[in-house]
Each structure stands twice: as structure tokens, then as C-alpha cells.
């Protein structure tokens, strides 16, 4: 059915000739690596967008630069994407949350008063735990979880490099239907699939991260350096597989040892994301990775002594460097 737009109300609803529909603007919270990567691709496809920046100072700084720059294999491209702060009055119907896991819930809580009835949030955070923290802040919104294997990093303020092509899975544990806007992502060239088992995907990635990332920090090595510590990796995989079975994620446990070794070999020359955070003096997402695994094990009465010891060693290591460990 063709819709004829005849006006926009202050609340963001568009009045059409025959019905009302939600505003189609993508609000993006967190203009860091992944948020900027998504924003630039959506902008390139002509989707209406609005970045939400922390405060007036960041907004002024952003406006001085005039937009975001995405660097790809064929060079940099600039996108003059509009931005605002939390204080803007317009309601939000569609929000991409692209902060780190530990920032997501407090940031969404600040935005909660602006979320329209029936708002939909896409949560890009790695690990598990932050999604539930966000959902608690906005019980009436739909929270869609994402798991991404794409890679991006900030080269400078407002400039991001698309470093690794990958894939995105989106899903909603509470509702198997994809949202109406799902095709926006295909239009924008964001490789995505809707999945009914997003929780399994997030657990599988969490398990891979738990088996690899902390050891790269503790052994101060690239992922390939773990080939010299395979017995330690295997012990962790044994416990992770038991934990996944115990917490109702048997599919995420399948062939875990083999996949961990395959990833170590395939990414041998890379430094894990946690290693890079530590090297740059940034807070890690340990609370939502190994921390979440240990908390879940305790809740289910699963014995995971090697994971717990790894967690303690990692926390001590982070604290010794003056980094937050929760
Ligand atoms: P990032 O640190 O580059 O970006 C996060 C951005 O959020 C920063 O610009 C920060 O200033 C902003 N932010 C934090 N709190 C805010 C607030 N209250 N208001 C406004 N802005 C706020 O992080 P990232 O690398 O893009 O990672 C985001 C999530 O995506 C993480 O959970 C990460 O694990 C996951 N992830 C990242 C990649 C990647 O390649 N970067 C790949 C897969 C998954
Ligand atoms: O996702 C990763 C990361 O570094 O965070 C891999 C490459 C899978 C290692 O755990």
C-alpha cells in the first residue's frame, strides 16, 4: 500500500493519508568504532540518521569536523551526519546502542524519557549481561540483541577504519519476528541475518573470547602465541563446554575445542580485542565475558575452577595496571 505523508507531529509520528507510522530515523548512541561504521553505511544508503553525543562540548567538537569519516580499502569518505545531545526533545523510535557493554545501561537510562511507545533498540554489545541491564531500564521497549564479527577501530576522533569484514546476527529472545525495518540493513550493505537463536550465538562468542582473550593478556602474546599453551586452552574449553551444557546452551558447546583452535590458528598474527584494550590502557569488558561465565557457573552450581582462577589472575593483572576490573 502506498503511503502519502501529509505531516509530522511533534511526538515524531508521521501522519499519513490512511494510517500513522513510526518515525524511521535511526538514532545512534555511541559514535565510536562500531557505531560510526553502522552510521556511515546507513547514511550512504540514504537512511535518516541522528547521532546522540554525550554533551554540548562533544557536539561542538563534532560539528567543527562536520561529520564522520569512514576509511575503507578505497580510501576515506566523509559523511555529514546530523548529531544532537541527550537533551534534544524529539522522541526516539529506533535506537542503535553502540557503547561498550559497561556503558550501555547507564546511557540508555539517560535516554529512557525520550523513548517512544513501542521503541526498538538494537544492542551491539559483545558478551552477555549488558543486554539484560539495558532491558531493565526500558521495560516497554523491544530489545534486539546483535552479535558481530565485523571489525572497526578509531584512527582519530570522528574517523573510523573498517578493519575486518564479517557478519552480524540479530535476534530477539522474546519475539521471533524480525522488525519491519530489517531490510534497511541490507539496503545499507550491512551483512546481517535474523536468527531465532541469538542467545546461543552470543554464548558461543563469549566462550571463544573466554578461552582466548584473557590468556593473551596474561601471556602477553598474539592469539597464535596460545599454540604454546594449548593444554591450558583445552582445560578452559572443557569447563566452558560443561557450563554451556549446564546453562541450557548445548549447541554453543558443540565442537568448542576444535573451533577455539581453528580461531587461534586463523587469527594467529592478531592481538585479541582484550589485549588491545589493555595495551591502550582502556577498560575491558571482562565483567560481561569471563565475569559473566563465572557468575553463571556459580548460579548453576557448575564447578569451573580453571575459569575462576583465570578470572582472579586477570582481575589482579588489570588492577596492577591501574585498570578497572569490574
Ligand atoms: P568504542 O569505545 O569505539 O565506542 C563506544 C562509544 O560510545 C565511544 O565513542 C564512547 O564515547 C561512546 N559512549 C559511551 N558512553 C556514552 C554516553 N553515555 N553517551 C554517548 N556516547 C557514549 O567501542 P566499540 O569498539 O565500537 O565497541 C562497542 C561494542 O561493540 C562493544 O561491546 C564491543 O565489544 C562490540 N564490538 C566491537 C567491535 C569492533 O570491531 N570495534 C567488533 C565486534 C563487537
Ligand atoms: O573475537 C575475538 C576477540 O579478539 O575479541 C577473537 C578473535 C575471536 C578472539 O577471541
| Ligand 1 atom with minimal separation from the 98 CA | 28
| pLDDT 10s digits, 147-198 | 999 999 999 999 999 999 999 999 999 999 999 999 999 999 999 999 999 9
Q: For the chain, which ranges sit under pLDDT 70?
A: 1-22
- pLDDT of amino acid 273: 97
Q: Is 205 a catalytic residue?
A: yes
CATH numbers and ranges of domains, the chain: 2-195 (3.40.50.720), 200-320 (1.10.1040.10)
| Ligand 1 atom with minimal separation from the 30 CA | 7
The finding on whether 206 has its CB within 6 A of some atom of ligand 2 is: no
Q: What is the pTM of this model?
A: 0.93
The finding on whether 126 has its CB within 6 A of some atom of ligand 2 is: no
The finding on whether 267 has its CB within 6 A of some atom of ligand 2 is: yes
Residue nearest to atom 4 of ligand 2 (CA): 272
The finding on whether 98 has its CB within 6 A of some atom of ligand 2 is: no
- pLDDT of amino acid 23: 75
Over its C-alpha atoms, the chain yields an Rg (Å, rounded) of: 21
**Ligand 1 center to residue 35 CA distance, Å?**
7
- pLDDT of amino acid 185: 98
**Ligand 2 center to residue 269 CA distance, Å?**
12
Contacts 24+ apart (CB under 8 A), 278-284: 278/217, 278/318, 278/321, 278/323, 281/321, 281/323, 282/323, 283/100, 283/102, 283/323, 283/324, 284/318, 284/323, 284/325
The finding on whether 71 has its CB within 6 A of some atom of ligand 1 is: no
- pLDDT of amino acid 18: 32
- pLDDT of amino acid 22: 65
- Residue 132 CA: distances (Å) to CA of 137, 143, 204, 233: 9, 9, 18, 29
The finding on whether 100 has its CB within 6 A of some atom of ligand 1 is: yes
Beta strands 14-16 and 5-8 are antiparallel
| Ligand 1 atom with minimal separation from the 149 CA | 43
**Ligand 2 center to residue 162 CA distance, Å?**
16
**Ligand 2 center to residue 24 CA distance, Å?**
33
Amino acid at each position: 500500500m502506498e503511503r502519502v505523508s501529509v505531516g509530522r507531529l511533534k511526538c515524531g509520528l508521521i501522519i499519513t493519508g490512511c494510517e500513522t507510522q513510526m518515525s524511521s530515523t535511526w538514532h545512534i548512541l555511541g559514535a565510536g568504532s562500531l557505531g560510526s561504521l553502522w552510521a556511515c553505511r546507513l547514511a550512504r544508503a540514504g537512511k535518516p540518521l541522528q547521532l546522540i553525543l554525550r554533551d554540548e562540548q562533544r557536539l561542538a567538537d563534532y560539528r567543527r569536523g562536520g561529520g564522520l569519516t569512514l576509511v575503507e580499502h578505497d580510501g576515506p569518505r566523509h559523511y555529514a551526519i546530523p548529531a544532537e545531545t541527550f537533551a534534544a526533545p524529539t522522541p526516539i523510535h529506533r535506537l542503535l546502542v553502540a557503547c561498550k557493554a559497561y556503558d550501555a545501561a547507564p546511557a540508555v537510562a539517560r535516554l529512557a524519557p525520550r523513548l517512544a511507545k513501542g521503541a526498538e533498540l538494537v544492542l551491539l554489545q559483545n558478551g552477555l549481561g549488558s543486554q539484560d541491564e539495558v532491558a531493565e531500564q526500558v521495560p516497554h521497549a523491544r530489545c534486539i540483541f546483535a552479535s558481530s564479527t565485523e571489525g572497526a577501530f578509531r584512527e582519530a576522533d570522528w574517523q573510523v577504519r573498517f578493519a575486518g569484514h564479517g557478519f552480524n546476527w540479530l535476534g530477539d529472545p522474546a519475539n521471533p519476528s524480525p522488525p519491519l525495518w530489517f531490510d534497511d540493513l541490507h539496503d545499507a550493505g550491512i551483512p546481517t541475518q535474523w536468527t531465532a537463536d541469538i542467545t546461543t550465538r552470543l554464548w558461543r562468542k563469549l566462550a571463544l573470547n573466554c578461552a582466548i582473550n584473557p590468556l593473551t593478556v596474561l601471556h602477553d602474546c598474539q592469539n597464535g602465541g596460545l599454540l604454546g599453551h594449548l593444554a591450558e586452552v583445552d582445560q578452559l574449553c572443557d569447563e566452558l563446554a560443561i557450563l554451556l551444557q549446564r546453562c541450557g546452551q548445548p549447541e554453543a558447546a558443540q565442537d568448542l575445542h576444535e573451533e577455539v583452535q581453528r580461531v587461534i590458528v586463523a587469527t594467529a598474527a592478531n592481538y585479541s580485542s582484550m589485549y588491545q584494550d589493555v595495551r591502550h590502557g582502556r577498560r575491558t569488558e571482562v565483567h560481561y565475558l569471563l565475569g559473566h561465565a563465572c557468575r553463571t557457573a556459580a548460579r548453576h552450581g557448575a564447578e569451573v575452577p580453571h575459569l575462576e582462577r583465570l578470572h582472579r589472575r586477570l582481575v589482579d593483572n588489570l588492577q596492577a595496571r591501574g585498570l578497572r576490573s569490574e
